Amino acid sequence: MMIKIGIVGGAGYTGGELIRLLINHPQSELVFVHSKSSAGKALHSVHQDLLGETDLRFTDELQRDIDLLYLCTGHGEARKFLEAHPPSGHTRIIDLSNDFRLQAQSTIFDLQFVYGLPELNRESIKTAKAIANPGCFATAIQVGLLPLAQRGLLKDIYTTGITGSTGAGQSLSATSHFSWRANNIQAYKTLTHQHLGEIGQSLSRLQPNTDIELSFVPWRGDFTRGIFASSTITADLSQKELNDLFNSYYEGHPFTHLSTEPIFMKQVVNTNKAVVQVEKVGTKMVVHSAIDNLLKGASGQAVQNMNLMFGLEETTGLNLKANYF
C-alpha cells in the first residue's frame, strides 16, 4: 500500500524534515508540497540538502485525491486553511501546529482531532481521521511525567528545559541570529509557555480529580536542535520502584526508553527517540528527558502517527542514526 500524501507549508523546518522522511519512507508517495512563497521552485532550492533526492517542485495548487494531508503551517493558520479548503471525505489530516491540540478547540466541521502522542493515545490514533501532533516541549516533558500521572503521584512539578534554535522556526528574529545565540543562553516565556495547556490536559486525563501545578521555565540554547528537560517532584517510591514504573509504562513503545545512566541530547538528535532517566535523592526525584525537537518533537512523531493511522509497523521509515559525534 502506497499512501498518497500532500504537505501544506513545506518551506519551513518541520516541512523540510517531513519531506526528508517521506521521500525515504517505503510506503509513502509524496504527491505535492504546497507553498505560496516558493511556488514553482524546486524543493532542493529551499531545502538544499535535497539536491539529487527529488525532482518535486513547490506548488500553490492543491490536489484532493490524496490519502493524507500534513499541515505544517504557522500556529493559527491550520484552522484558517481548513476553513478555506475543506478536506475531502477520505483524506486524513495530521496538523503540526497548536490549533487543535486542546480538547475545547479539537473540532472543525465533522472532524474530531485526536491528540497525537502515541505514548498516551496509541489506540485512538489508529482509528483517527485527524491528528493534532503534540508540541516539542510538550512531548519531551510528558514522556517524563506520564508514568507518574498514571500512578497518581503528581502534584507540584517544577520543570526546566532547554531547546535549540530550530525550535523558533525558520523566520529570523533577534534571538535566532547566530551572533545572538552563540555563547549565549536565555530564559523565555517563564511560566507562560504555550505548551502548558496540552501538558496539563494529558496529565489530568491520567490523574483526574487532582490539582496538578506545573511550573515551567524554558531556555533558549546555544545549539541548533534538541530538547533536554528536567522535572522535579516529591515522591516516596524507591529508585527501583520508579525504574520499574517507567519500564512497565513504556513496554511496547518502540521509541521511548529508560536509561539508568545519565542521559544527554546527542543520544537522540537526528532520531525519533525519547530517552528518559530518573534520579532519586531523599523525598525528591528528578525526571530527565531528551528528544530531537524536529523529529520526535514534530515531523518524526507525525510520521509515527501516520504509520499507526494506516496500519503500518510503527517504526517504518524512522530507523534513523543519531548524530553521536
- Do residues 249 and 110 share a domain? no
- Do residues 176 and 287 share a domain? yes
- Do residues 172 and 255 share a domain? yes
Residue of 125, 130, 136, 290 marked catalytic:
136
- Do residues 245 and 149 share a domain? yes
- Do residues 262 and 300 share a domain? no
Grid coordinates belonging to 220: 533558549
Tell me the pLDDT tens digit for each residue of 149-162: 999 999 999 999 99
- Do residues 30 and 172 share a domain? no
State the total domains in the chain.
2
Return per-residue pLDDT of the chain as tens, 325 residues.
Answer: 899 999 999 999 999 999 999 999 999 999 999 998 899 999 999 999 999 999 999 999 999 899 999 999 988 999 999 999 998 889 999 999 999 999 999 999 989 999 999 999 999 999 999 999 999 999 999 999 999 999 999 999 999 999 998 876 666 577 777 888 899 999 999 999 999 999 999 999 999 988 999 999 999 999 999 999 999 999 999 999 999 999 999 999 999 999 999 999 999 999 999 999 999 999 999 999 999 999 999 999 999 999 999 999 999 999 999 988 8
Residue 64 lies in a domain: yes
Adjacency order of strands within the sheet including 111-115 = 58-59, 28-34, 3-8, 68-71, 92-95, 130-132, 111-115, 107-108
> CATH number, domain at 120?
3.40.50.720
Note if 136 is an active site residue: yes
Given a contact cutoff of 8 angstroms between Cβ atoms, the answer to whether 254 and 318 are in contact is no
- The helix or strand, by DSSP H or E, that contains position 281, with its residue range, turns out to be strand 274-281
Range of the domain at 259: 136-293
Q: Which of 212, 232, 264 is nearest to 159 (CA)?
A: 232
Tell me the pLDDT tens digit for each residue of 53-69: 999 999 999 998 999 99
> CATH number, domain at 239?
3.30.360.10
